[in-house]
């Protein structure tokens, strides 16, 4: 990791608005977009096989993602018989005003995102013990509860995002592996 000021890992992110929220407000679309962003271009058939669902269902959701600007066809990879799809952006920015402007849609998108994170974490836990030595010990699951003021929570968010951004911007180097880092901080849903 360099000491230089990191570039913004979301410089190529899609900026969500009320229209684009509709494109992500489905768990399967979020999963398809995750796969395309993490693993690169794929055909609808390959995605259907990986997700163990029908090609027709994947095709429908690919068209919805395309209509909302999240993915595009890659004609250089495609043939007359198969279409390859590529993520148009790396990540997305979720303006907080959408929680007020479109509360149902923003909740649906955040729910789909939480399902995606849960799926990734469950898969990691399944393979936790099988990781190579060193990697196995370096993995972490951690959680804390704290009593914070609004200002402290905002400060925590800024600090954690800055830390995540420092690592997210690194270009792959020998010996590196893709590592998912997820962060969530929120008032206790059962509290006041």
pLDDT tens for 84-96 read 999 998 888 888 8
Q: Which residue has the tokens 């995606």?
A: 116
- N- to C-terminal Cα separation, the chain: 40
Q: Give the pLDDT score at 130.
A: 94
Helix (H) or strand (E) holding 93: strand 92-93
The 8-class DSSP code of residue 141 comes to -
Residue 65: which H helix or E strand, with range? Answer: helix 55-67
pLDDT of 192 higher than 70: no
pLDDT band at 61 (very low <50, low <70, confident <90, very high): very high
Residue 188: per-residue pLDDT: 84
Confidence of residue 18 (pLDDT cuts 50, 70, 90): confident
| Tens of pLDDT, residues 119-132 | 889 999 999 999 99
Model-wide pTM > 0.75: yes
Look at 15 and 139; give whichever has higher pLDDT. 139
> Under the phi-then-psi rule, with left for phi > 0, alpha for psi from -120 to 50, and beta for the rest, what region is 84?
beta
């Amino acid at each position: 990791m360099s000491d230089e000021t990191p570039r913004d890992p979301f410089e190529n992110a899609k900026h969500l608005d009320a229209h684009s929220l509709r494109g992500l407000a489905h768990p399967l679309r979020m999963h398809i977009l995750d796969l395309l962003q993490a693993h690169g271009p794929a055909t609808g058939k390959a995605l259907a096989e990986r997700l163990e669902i029908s090609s027709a269902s994947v095709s429908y959701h690919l068209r919805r993602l395309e209509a909302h600007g999240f993915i595009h066809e890659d004609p250089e990879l495609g043939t007359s018989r198969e279409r390859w799809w590529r993520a148009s952006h790396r990540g997305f920015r979720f303006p907080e005003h959408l929680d007020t402007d479109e509360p149902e849609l923003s909740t649906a998108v955040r729910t789909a995102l939480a399902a995606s994170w849960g799926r990734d974490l469950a898969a990691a836990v399944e393979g936790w013990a099988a990781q190579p030595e060193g990697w196995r010990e370096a993995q972490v699951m951690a959680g804390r509860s704290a009593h914070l003021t609004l200002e402290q929570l905002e400060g925590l968010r800024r600090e954690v995002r800055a830390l995540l951004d420092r690592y997210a911007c690194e270009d792959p180097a020998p010996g590196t592996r893709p590592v998912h880092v997820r962060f969530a901080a929120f008032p206790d849903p059962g509290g006041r």
